[in-house]
């Protein structure tokens, strides 16, 4: 069973089309509504998704782990992480899954830098991305072409070991750290990202560092 996990917060305008498009590529779509203040959950259900709701806003990492728990309980063979804002392209799913299977890796991470299809804002390309690569090197001891990309496919083995403890955006560094810790193999694959707005600000990087430091020293 191939399950798509879609973390969503205030995405009522796009979540329906995202869910409907995913059904052409996966068996089940699970939307984790992270205490949205709009009609995200209702729109996702209307589109056919199984919806899990956080009563308080916990963050994207927590939403993904809620989806992981559902996937483990329902015997998922593969799990796809896919954002609810329409930035990812469903056309990348089938070739990415085929590449994961061909290489027999445990986890595939999408990359905006392996081809020229993604047009990144200047701040992301020149500030946030280098900072993310540095965090991955320091905290996860791994070098990736794309430090923080939300497009991922995990096989069943990876799903068992990738138990996300970082509730917010620091999960993007925690995931490769856990992969290294548990001896999981990682491959990267080119994916296209279309930006509707600028998203993460520079201050977000410092919050990620804080969360990673706290997570490292309280374990």
| Residue-wise DSSP of 46-85 | HTT-EEEEESS---HHHHHHHHHHHHHHTT-SEEEE--TT
CA angle, 52 then 54 then 58, to 5°: 130
**What pLDDT shows up at residue 205?**
45
Average pLDDT over all residues of the chain: 86
- The string of DSSP codes covering 196-207 is SS--S-HHHHHH
Q: What is the mean pLDDT of residues 141-149?
A: 79
Domain ranges of the chain: 2-218
**What pLDDT shows up at residue 217?**
32
Q: Which residue has the higher pLDDT, 138 or 13?
A: 13
Structure confidence by residue, pLDDT tens digits, 157-177: 999 999 999 998 889 989 999
Could you tell me how many residues make up the chain?
Answer: 219
**What pLDDT shows up at residue 211?**
52
> Is 71 exposed, middle or buried, given 0-12, 13-18 or 19+ CB atoms closer than 10 A?
buried
Residue 113 pLDDT class (50, 70, 90 cuts): confident
**What pLDDT shows up at residue 206?**
47
Q: Which residue has the higher pLDDT, 123 or 23?
A: 23
Q: Is 42 helix (H, G, I), strand (E, B) or coil?
A: helix
- Model confidence at 84: pLDDT above 60: yes
Structure confidence by residue, pLDDT tens digits, 43-57: 999 999 999 999 999
Q: Which CATH code fits 2-218?
A: 3.90.550.10
């Amino acid at each position: 069973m191939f399950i798509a996990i879609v973390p969503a917060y205030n995405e009522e305008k796009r979540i329906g089309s995202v869910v409907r498009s995913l059904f052409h590529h996966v068996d089940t779509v699970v939307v984790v509504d992270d205490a949205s203040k709009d009609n995200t959950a209702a729109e996702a259900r209307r589109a056919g998704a199984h919806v899990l709701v956080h009563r308080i806003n916990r963050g994207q990492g927590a939403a993904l782990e809620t989806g992981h728990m559902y996937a483990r309980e329902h015997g998922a063979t593969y799990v796809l992480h896919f954002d609810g804002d329409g930035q990812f392209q469903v056309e990348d799913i089938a070739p990415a899954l085929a590449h994961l299977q061909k290489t027999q890796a445990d986890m595939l991470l999408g990359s905006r830098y392996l081809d020229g299809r993604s047009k990144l804002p200047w701040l992301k390309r020149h500030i946030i991305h280098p900072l993310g690569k540095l965090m991955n090197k320091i905290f996860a001891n791994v070098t990736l072409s794309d430090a923080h990309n939300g497009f991922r496919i995990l096989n069943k083995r990876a799903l068992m070991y990738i138990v996300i403890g970082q509730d917010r955006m620091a999960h993007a560094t925690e995931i490769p750290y856990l992969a290294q810790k548990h001896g999981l193999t990682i491959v990267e694959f080119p994916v296209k990202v279309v930006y509707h707005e600028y998203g993460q600000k520079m201050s977000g990087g410092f919050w990620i560092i804080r969360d990673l430091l706290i997570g490292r020293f309280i374990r």
